[in-house]
Amino acid sequence: MPRLPGISQHDAVRVFEKLGYRVMRQSGHIVMSNGQIRLVIPRQNPINAITMGAIARDAGLNPDQFRALL
């Protein structure tokens, strides 16, 4: 899988909100859900590219689809 750029937690939340995910809770991590899939986004700036790729894959996105939503 090609690497995704390291992005901020705020940008990651914004992308997943476009896909219908909502923030369920926040602490050391941000937990988002769309009712079926739960995503855990670390509070790091920037989020590591490999970690961001895994989160996008869990949401069913390939790197090109994720980049298009940024």
> What residue ranges of the chain have pLDDT lower than 50?
1
User: Cβ-count burial of 29 within 10 angstroms (0-12 exposed, 13-18 middle, 19+ buried)?
Assistant: middle
Domains in the chain, CATH or no CATH each = 9-69 (3.30.920.30)
Its pTM stands at 0.87
Query: In the prediction, which pLDDT does 2 show?
Result: 56
Query: In the prediction, which pLDDT does 44 show?
Result: 87
